[in-house]
């Protein structure tokens, strides 16, 4: 048998210290922003019926065609969720009540069998939100504004919004036909993927990264040219609302987003520090058919791996969020060790984080470990301190040391509870 690998599967990562501190910080701050915008969390299973994704995302999309992790069992086919919206809509449809006005957010892993590269993983993490309700330009603008508020809260400065419209679903045929007619004479010059997309998913030709496809797309008239007046007016209203909410954006007529369920507004948030995979997040208005219900809403999904990369490129490092003990307890001798163990439990019950060493090592060795943990304070106790019921407290940043009694010790670390 070959040796067991200590690495996770290709395209998947462990997220441990110090990195995980930044992840926790991002999630905690996001929860505050979602609360401010009145969103509730929804946790859906990471696996769903395969059919849910095929029907919601569209069977000609890249995700469904090439990227799903599907598990065939004898009685059903299940797929690891490649995105979060389909599960949220399934849940909302299942509530069987008027869901208009529902606002939910989710945070969790998504899975896509893509070729791994910088910023593209097979298990990645999305933080997303959905606002259920009929098409309203102000709602779309609010959704984008919330995302920008979130990025600002995280301290991100260099993100920019790219905005476009796909028009209402009823316009889709006119848009597709119009584009096909103009692209057809150059069909032979398109890449292999776009030749396939020409029949099945023509909009995706517009955002193909291949050089010749991009040139052909850039020379086309904007999609809005083929849309109804109503769709165009909707898009103008979204822009007006974004201006009112103080959100800067750039209209990008080639932005289409990859999934079939989108209509009207679509957007991406990009960041200069990400390299080739520069999309931090994507979103849009959608209409998803679920059973007898057509559920409409607007939402987005942010890739957390890319958020971490973008923040790093702006100088925000994970180290500053890594958790350090408030107190490290140094015990000199067995009596002090036992007494410190009790003290640690007492301090922890008050919410302070305490670390200590169960081995009665030398003072020097314990101080070295204390230093390594980055503890703000060290409490040093030997037999004498236990007997006299005093505590030597060292402030690691100041380098100062004082001997205190229990009341002073508690006052030092828990001033509010003792006051």
Residue nearest to ligand AMP (CB): 303
Query: To the nearest whole angstrom, how small is the minimum distance from the Cβ of residue 91 to ligand AMP?
Result: 19
Residue with tokens 């584009």: 179
Contact in structure between 279 and 173 (CB atoms under 8 Å): no
Tell me how far apart the alpha carbons of residues 109 and 124 are, in angstroms, rounded to a whole number: 5
Please state the separation of Cα 228 from the chain's center in Å: 35
Q: How far is CA 277 from the centre of its chain?
A: 15
Residue 74 C-beta: closest distance to ligand AMP, Å: 30
Considering only residues 35-54, where is the footprint of ligand AMP by CB under 6 A? none
Residue 280 found at the interface with ligand AMP (CB under 6 A) = yes
The angle, 0 to 180 degrees and rounded to 10, between the axes of the packed helices 137-153 and 19-36 is: 140
Residue 63: CB minimum distance to ligand AMP, A: 7
Copy the structure tokens of residue 204: 């995706």
Binders of ligand AMP: how many residues, by CB under 6 A?
A: 17
DSSP codes joined into one string, 198-232? HHH-GGGGGG--SHHHHHHHHTSPPGGGGS-HHHH
Per-residue binding string, ligand AMP, 53-92, x by CB under 6 A, is ------------------------------x---------
What is the C-alpha to C-alpha distance for residues 148 and 36, in angstroms, rounded to an integer?
A: 14
- Collect contacts of 405-411 with beta carbons under 8 A, ≥24 apart: 409/379
Strand, coil or helix: 267: strand
Does 306 interact with ligand AMP (rule: CB under 6 A)? yes
Instruction: Name the CA dihedral angle for 133, 135, 136, 137, rounded to a multiple of 10 degrees.
Output: 130
Residues 122-141 that bind ligand AMP (CB under 6 A): 124, 126
Pick between residue 261 and residue 391 the one whose CB is nearest to ligand AMP: 261
Say whether residue 282 binds ligand AMP (CB under 6 A).
yes
Residue 128: CB minimum distance to ligand AMP, A: 8
Sign of the CA dihedral 38, 41, 47, 48? Answer: negative
Kindly tell me which of 54 and 378 has the beta carbon lying closer to ligand AMP.
54
Q: Is 120 in the site for ligand AMP (CB under 6 A)?
A: yes
Q: State the DSSP code for 99.
A: -
Torsion of the alpha carbons at 319, 323, 326 and 329, rounded to the nearest 10: -100
Instruction: Verify binding: residue 114, ligand AMP, rule CB under 6 A.
Output: yes
In the complex with ligand AMP, the residue whose CB is nearer, 126 or 340, is 126
Q: Considering only residues 148, 305, 330, 331, which one is a binding residue for ligand AMP as defined by CB under 6 A? A: 305
Q: Is residue 279 a contact residue for ligand AMP (CB under 6 A)?
A: yes
Name residue 72's beta-bridge partners. Answer: 77
Q: Which helix (H) or strand (E) holds 305?
A: helix 304-313
Q: Which stretch binds ligand AMP (CB under 6 A): 23-31, 119-127, 222-230, 391-399?
A: 119-127
Tell me the per-residue interface mask from 246 to 275 with ligand AMP, x by CB under 6 A, - otherwise: ------------x-----------------
CB of 124 to ligand AMP, least distance (A): 3
Minimum separation from the CB atom of position 107 to ligand AMP (A): 12
Judged on CB neighbours under 10 Å (0-12, 13-18, 19+), 411 is middle
Which residue lies nearer to ligand AMP by CB, 7 or 115? 115
State the Cα–Cα distance between residues 385 and 400, nearest whole angstrom: 18
Residues in contact with ligand AMP by CB under 6 A are 83, 112, 114, 119-121, 124, 126, 258, 279-282, 301, 303, 305-306
């Amino acid at each position: 048998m070959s040796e067991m690998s200590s690495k996770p599967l290709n395209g998947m990562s462990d997220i441990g210290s110090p990195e995980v501190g930044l992840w926790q910080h991002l999630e905690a701050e996001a929860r505050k922003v979602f609360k401010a915008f009145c969103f509730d969390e929804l946790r859906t299973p990471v696996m769903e019926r395969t059919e849910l994704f095929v029907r919601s995302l569209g069977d000609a999309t890249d995700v469904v065609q090439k990227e799903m992790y599907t598990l065939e069992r004898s009685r059903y086919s299940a797929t690891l969720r490649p995105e979060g919206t389909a599960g949220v809509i399934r849940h909302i449809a299942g509530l069987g009540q008027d869901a208009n006005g529902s606002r939910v957010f989710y945070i969790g892993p998504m899975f896509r069998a893509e070729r791994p590269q910088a910023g593209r993983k097979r298990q990645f993490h999305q933080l997303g939100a959905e606002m259920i309700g009929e098409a309203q330009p102000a709602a779309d603008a609010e959704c984008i504004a919330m995302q920008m508020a979130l990025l600002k809260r995280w301290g991100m400065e260099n993100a920019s919004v790219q905005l476009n419209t796909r028009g209402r679903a009823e316009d889709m045929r006119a848009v597709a036909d119009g584009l096909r007619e103009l692209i057809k004479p150059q069909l032979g010059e398109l890449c292999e993927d776009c030749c396939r997309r020409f029949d099945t998913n023509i909009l995706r030709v517009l955002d193909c990264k291949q050089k010749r496809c991009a040139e052909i797309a850039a020379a086309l008239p904007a999609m809005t040219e083929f849309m109804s007046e109503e769709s165009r007016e909707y898009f103008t209203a979204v822009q007006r609302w974004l201006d009112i909410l103080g959100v800067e954006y750039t209209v990008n007529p080639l932005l289409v987003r990859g999934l079939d369920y989108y209509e009207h507004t679509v957007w991406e948030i990009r960041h200069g520090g990400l390299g080739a995979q520069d999309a931090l997040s994507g979103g849009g208005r959608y209409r998803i058919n679920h059973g007898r219900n057509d559920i409409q809403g607007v939402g987005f999904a942010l890739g957390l791996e890319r958020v971490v990369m973008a923040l790093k490129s702006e100088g925000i490092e994970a180290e500053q969020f890594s958790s350090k003990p408030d107190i490290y307890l140094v015990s000199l001798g067995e009596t002090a060790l036992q007494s410190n163990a009790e003290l640690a439990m007492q301090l922890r019950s008050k919410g302070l984080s305490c670390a200590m060493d169960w081995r009665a090592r030398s003072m020097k060795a314990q101080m070295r470990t204390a230093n390594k943990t980055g503890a703000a304070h060290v409490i040093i106790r030997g037999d004498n301190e236990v007997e006299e019921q005093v505590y030597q407290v060292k402030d690691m940043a100041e380098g100062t040391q004082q001997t205190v009694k229990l009341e002073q010790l508690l006052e030092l670390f828990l001033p509010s509870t003792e006051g």
